[in-house]
Chain A
């Protein structure tokens, strides 16, 4: 039998955090992207409140450029578990003239999500937004608290964060502020995968090796799609790939892989020499790309 006791410790910690959210806030919401981290959050939330239902809704900020497999999966999960799902669309923010579509070679709707998210928080008066960010993903995230206070403008004041001591989480806020909550802060990518394997959690098919039309740019594997800008000289080829991280099609790069089931994916992650966000085009913009987006209210 595989030794999963350290994942158990992380699971106990995450369940504790979920219960603190339910107890300390009036209108929490779980931000659901259809990715493996937010699917893991749903499982943890189920465990935290069993036999009661998860006492808050899920919300998806839909860029409109998602992988169709993700959206299909999302709708099925919500139906099977009897959860409440709120969807807000980046397209609406564009139509309302609040944000402008990026153009050109590296255009993506990823950063446009922030406006749609902040508007939705205001619309529903959410006071806690639960997300699947992990500290091991990226340097700026390594400094993130479990309960991270955002001001009226959704901004992160990274130099003035509340200290978090022992297990105690301080969720006291003023009206208009909200808290971003990260129950799997202390999990690594491998921990998430080990947990998915142990719990036999279903995830979208794009996480497993499949044949896909792709093209290569800057050493990254891009999906050939209407949503992704492509130069004429960038040749489309078909290869076996899978995704390690799933965001918008325009900002998520694939990896060459033959791993078609969960145990071979776990093995692949274990042997991997490139980090998960190494396949995130949005982080490549600059050394401080993530920190800048977080200050502006990005998740």
Chain B
């Protein structure tokens, strides 16, 4: 890989300043960025290390909200997010144990891989992404494939999750990459249900609004009978056709609803 300048800040303020440099790129756990740099698909001039900044690390639950610092590893979320078991389970099944010891929630959602698990949890929960400059609702945050609402130099400092009455994440593993071939996150807040789908769409994570409407009226797997996502917009690759993924979305959504009740 090409060499770069490495900045190791001691505070978010210092990190924010360093991120203003041309060609600066935040470095979380590096579990995606390093392989990408090795392939020279990315060649940042400056890396600003965020992992290890204590003000960005932590899992705290208070008054119905679970707050996770941007540089918190998947492993720590899996161990400590007991106030939101569906999210803890999601974090505990990302990649493999060594990846979970390095990879961070901020890194995952800043990258917005179309097959990553966290985007489904964040969008499915209707969480709020907190940055060093503002707060962004999940519905506005995920824009497209590997694209988010983050501006140049903006740092994900944390994510605030409203804790639902019931939630479940169903992941159909792609066993070689350990990403989701398809993953569906269902969360129920009172009479409102959110369904977020990852791994399936060419545009990245999305809400399945027809399923949400059906589940709002009747929160049961039967309510999803006859509903299907349009395969025309879905990913088709050697691991699965668009039609196969569309089928999986239905199956996993039903399983997630069943697991909620």
Are A and B associated in one complex?
no
